[in-house]
A and B are shown apart, each in its own frame.
Chain A
């Protein structure tokens, strides 16, 4: 398999706290990678470093052979890395449909053209496709600030895939979602994504990690302490001791 993301010796400290400690890894094309770890282990920092939200102190991030270290979030997004957020980042005063239209209009260049209609047929077709894939049709005319948390999470992910990313990072896609809805949400998300998209998702629920990932990275204290297939990582004694807390 081809490495789509190649991270080498990534370091990041916040004062006395080491959030990323010499992280090196390669993510292959089409992998579904679950990132696990306790709070403060460095999962979100890793996502933020890859997507340019924060800059690394040292190390390199290479996407498809192109060095994206130190680039701005916009440049990294344009390079093909998109993300969703733990707290959904949406246009709260717009409707679901308007959020998606803006998102769809940016990669096509329509969003920078002064009079490109939001009703353009190609835009509407792409919009309908997204609304169907992410099962958002019923809330298409609702203002985002009125939507429940789970729907906002879905919309945040739907918005982030409009650019057809090669690498998608989802920061805690099921956090804040009712327990019985977590699997439903993940089914919709994973079903909506094309197989060729490489996905990294931060997750605290191990059943979700087991079911939806092909590979798991376990973070502890800014380092990756285990990397492999889900059953292997989740049965690793260090992961059990530091992260899952499950008995042998």
Chain B
């Protein structure tokens, strides 16, 4: 697919989502905002997975993004949702760049456990930091939208949904273009064979460093969205179970499609919400059954459903 077509499809998808949001009840719109915010963090994880690395600490950047936006609102007096979301993204990016310097040289289980350790370190520090609300966290004010303060709950939810949709679709579009670029292929090359990458004159470490920073930025934006939608930030955002959720979404989605990442995130939120409502005592078990079903029947994730079969691709190749 050419870049122009990707942008066109993204614009159509965005228009559809904005229309859909205006027709949905508030609870469903809210669910979609959370799905977008977690989908952004999971998309960052997919960027890393494409270079062969699995992070169990993506929650760290999700949390930094949320706290970055929240503290700028509470301490800095900034109320604009768009500014706060990007501030969260940049806060996570700065932390991401510093951590990337430390972690870009590690691979496989060492990378995974170090990212997990760093996120738990931040979680521990936040629970003890009374100035940041300790383990209870902090409540946020309702945000403004380009100077406009929503008077009704529904309007505020829709405005936040619109921002989440633009950021979600925009990021998906950019990442889709990137995955199809030479640089995107180079990431897959790093995953496949670092020796060849180095003997072609490229730096595998630099590729991983940059991918890590992108993943942190996306998670930061997601965290900030989550904070503004919920109106609350707490250390749980950096807890390992949050990172585990992102891993779950990334596995559920697979690496074949960026749209599948958001679809997987929404599906997870849906299953979680309905399971906790109708099976309040066994909803974690329902989630486990759901995950097992996906791994057994769709080992390449939801994205595999959107991909053409290899045989079709081969036939197309011969036809060319």
Contacts and interface: CB of A to CB of B under 8 A. Distances in A.
B277 interface: no
B303 to A, nearest CB: 16
Nearest to A163: B201
Contacts of B202: 74, 106, 111-112
A44 B196 CA distance: 17
Main secondary structure of the interface of B (DSSP, over half): helix
A90 B193 contact: yes
A162 B181 CA distance: 18
Interface string A111-129: 1111111110001000000
A73 B189 CA distance: 17
A107 B184 CA distance: 16
B310 to A, nearest CB: 8
A72 B203 CA distance: 11
A91 B200 contact: no
Contact of B178 (A92, A110, A115, A123): A115
A91 B184 CA distance: 13
Interface string B153-197: 000000000000000000000100110111111101101110110
Interface in A82-119: 82-83, 89-94, 98, 101-103, 105-107, 110-119
A123 B182 contact: yes
B199 A91 contact: no
B168 to A, nearest CB: 19
A160 interface: yes
Interface string A55-99: 000000000000000001110011000110000011111100010
Nearest to B195: A89
Contacts of B146: none
B196 A159 contact: yes
B2 interface: yes
A122 to B, nearest CB: 12
A123 B186 CA distance: 15
Contacts of A90: 192-193, 196
Nearest to B177: A115
Given A102-B185, A106-B186, A118 B199 contact: no
A77 B181 contact: no
B317 interface: yes
Contacts of A198: none
Given A91-B188, A141-B313, A116 B199 contact: no
Given A74-B203, A89-B195, A105 B317 contact: no
A51 interface: yes
B200 A114 contact: no
A141 B178 contact: no
B171 to A, nearest CB: 13
A162 B199 CA distance: 11
A160 B199 contact: yes
A164 B127 CA distance: 57
Interface in A114-167: 114-119, 123, 140-142, 159-160, 162-163
B188 A94 contact: yes
Given A89-B193, A90-B193, A102 B186 contact: yes
Contact of B182 (A91, A102, A141): A102
Contact of B189 (A91, A123, A160): A91
Nearest to B202: A106
- Which residue of A94, A102, A103, A163 has the most chain B CB atoms within 10 A of its CB atom? A102
Given A162-B200, A163-B201, A113 B183 contact: yes
A100 B108 CA distance: 27
Contacts of A89: 193, 195-196, 199
Given A74-B198, A106-B186, A141-B320, 11 more contacts: A77-B198, A94-B185, A101-B182, A103-B200, A107-B201, A115-B174, A116-B181, A117-B3, A117-B181, A141-B317, A142-B314
